[in-house]
Structure 1
Amino acid sequence: MNIQSCLPKGAGFSVAENKCRIVSNEAVNEEYRLLIAEADDVALSARAGQFFHLLCPSVGGEKPFLRRPMSIYRVDPEAGRIGFLYKVTGKGTRALSSLRPDDTIDAMGPLGQGFSLPSGVRNVLMVGRGVGLATLAPLARLATKSEAAVTAVLSARRRDLLMSRQELENAGARVIEVTDEEGTSQPETLEALLCDLHAQLPFDFAATCGSNRLFQLVRSLCAEWNIPGETALEAFMGCGTGMCYACVVPTMDANGKEQYRRVCWDGPVFPISEALGW
């Protein structure tokens, strides 16, 4: 069902209530799962950084009241499939983990503002942690299609929780992995690494998602290097379409004045100079 008429004006893209058949829903490590589903043309038009609002099934007496926002991890128009990488944390994601091949999920979307690469970008830095890697993965494909080089820094607590190396390398990105247990993910250590990479071949765009401390680091480096950047913010969402105002966060406008904006509608992707974290 197309719900375009129910949205606030100015979406600029098609949105529908997509009925998607589950192809697979498998664990990638002890915390995260990858759900792959067949999708129609509206869902397959999703852009890097956008998300879907998923209607979770009722399982074992648990009935999630609200949909769950889920960043798009993979869009494969040729195969007619989309993918979501998610962490099982509560009754909504537990319900999602119960889905099996040939089950159907209601995925409303695509929703939100995605990433926008400036014209002429040649060297992109991406820094992500945890489920933030799901949001950044499609950006790597967008950048390499624009003939830009991509360096993706993946952060996790432990090496066994690192994800998306193959996904990003398949997209043409250079991948660097850092972890807490190895002492390589600390902001001071990571800053030295990124500054060294920048000295070798300057980055001209940066993106980050999944960690407030990494956001603060990348935001600082963008200002120091005088380059544009974007970040995908996270928030609890009610409607996912900007109407309930449940996901507002403070941001900074061009004049340095603080203002509240909706993550689901004005974002989730914001210029890094305007975002204040979460």
Structure 2
Amino acid sequence: MTMTAMAKPEAPSGCFPRAENRCHVVSNAPMNSEYRLLVVDAPETGLSAYAGQFFHLLCPATATEQPFLRRPMSIYRIDRENGQLGFLYKVTGKGTRALASLAPGDELNATGPLGVGFSLPEGTKHVAMVARGVGLATLAPLARMARAQGAMVTAILSARAPEFLMSRDELEAAGARVIEVNDVAGNSAPQEVINRLRDIHAETPIDFMATCGSNRLLGLTRDLCSEWRIPGQVAVEAFMGCGLGMCFACVVPVRDAQGHEEMKRVCYDGPVFGVEEVTAW
């Protein structure tokens, strides 16, 4: 399979419902000292989401926090059987602190699903995912999508320390093989991850790669995709205003097939792009 074998889905108008979903909180619990998992009951429009898309969440006003703009949030879990969505987030500012105040039964206003997500080429047999930190939130649904299409999934999860590693259970439940690396153990450096992936590729050839959460991981993913002549995609993170493509607050530089640079909107043209398009973000 060559890198030209994959056609990225057409995004924009009419491709997704862009609905204002009234969701109700099921749980909002800490996963560790930094991250929380927010699970909500969602209507049918919200459950139409697929891996790599996101929602624009209206953060509640509290006694101490008055968030003005919505917050873009990757989809961590799409549970159509139980009618639920999950969002994994790190509490860093007034918006996420406000989200952390939500309790079971509270209403969450979530616009979406938004953006262009992942697209696996037909016949994909082995997907390798590499993610760091909250980048895991974006890649978790991809594991289920890949397994549903009959592909094997290997996920390399990276973090600063063992206590910040998450999602093993989520990914293993999806049928992925999970490998954890961290800075404390000294096995999370890019060359260490490259060596591990080359060993995996030699054993069972990888024919698609996906990444999120680190420019270093983007670089190594791009290099390996080029070396093995396989397609790969990256989910890009960006500050957003409207989340609908109108305000152009989330543009990033990308390269076209001829190497010419242009600006594209993360919320509308992405957030998922080909690894050969994105240099950094």
TM range (shorter): over 0.9
Q: What are the ranges of 5 or more consecutive residues in structure 2 without an aligned counterpart?
A: 1-10
In the alignment, does 2:65 pair up with 1:62?
A: yes
Instruction: Report the Cα distance in structure 1 between the residues aligned to 2:136 and 2:143, rounded to whole angstroms.
Output: 11
Instruction: Tell me the alpha carbon deviations over residues 11-36 of structure 1, each in whole angstroms, 9 at most, x when there is no partner.
Output: 41212000100000000000000000
Instruction: Report the Cα distance in structure 1 between the residues aligned to 2:62 and 2:244, rounded to whole angstroms.
Output: 26
Q: Residue 139 of structure 1 aligns with which residue?
A: 142
1:132-211 correspondence to structure 2 within 5 Å: 132-211=135-214
Q: What are the ranges of 5 or more consecutive residues in structure 1 without an aligned counterpart?
A: 1-7
TM, length-normalised to structure 2:
0.95
Q: What is the aligned-residue RMSD (CA, Å)?
A: 1.0
Moved more, 151-160 or 56-65: 56-65
In the alignment, does 2:130 pair up with 1:127?
A: yes
Query: Percent identity between the aligned chains?
Result: 63
| Alpha-carbon shift at residue 163 of structure 1 (Å) | 0.3
- Amino acid paired to 1:192: N
Q: Residue 72 of structure 1 aligns with which residue?
A: 75
Instruction: Report the Cα distance in structure 2 between the residues aligned to 1:11 and 1:255, rounded to whole angstroms.
Output: 29
Q: Residue 5 of structure 1 aligns with which residue?
A: none
| Alpha-carbon shift at residue 61 of structure 1 (Å) | 3.3
Instruction: Report the Cα distance in structure 1 between the residues aligned to 2:114 and 2:16, rounded to whole angstroms.
Output: 9
Instruction: Report the Cα distance in structure 1 between the residues aligned to 2:216 and 2:193, rounded to whole angstroms.
Output: 11
Runs of 4+ in structure 1 over 2 Å off: 8-11
Q: 1:85 is matched with which residue: 73, 83, 88? A: 88
Q: Residue 42 of structure 2 aligns with which residue?
A: 39
Contact 2:12/2:269, CA 8 A, preserved across alignment: no
SS of residue matched to 1:79: coil
In the alignment, does 2:219 pair up with 1:216?
A: yes
Q: 2:262 is matched with which residue: 254, 259, 263? A: 259
Q: Residue 5 of structure 2 aligns with which residue?
A: none
Instruction: Report the Cα distance in structure 2 between the residues aligned to 1:54 and 1:124, rounded to whole angstroms.
Output: 30
Instruction: Report the Cα distance in structure 2 between the residues aligned to 1:11 and 1:201, rounded to whole angstroms.
Output: 39
Instruction: Tell me the alpha carbon deviations over residues 3-54 of structure 1, each in whole angstroms, 9 at most, x when there is no partner.
Output: xxxxx96241212000100000000000000000000000001010000000
Instruction: Report the Cα distance in structure 2 between the residues aligned to 1:59 and 1:12, rounded to whole angstroms.
Output: 35
- Amino acid paired to 2:132: R
User: Aligned residue pairs: how many?
Assistant: 271
SS of residue matched to 1:13: coil
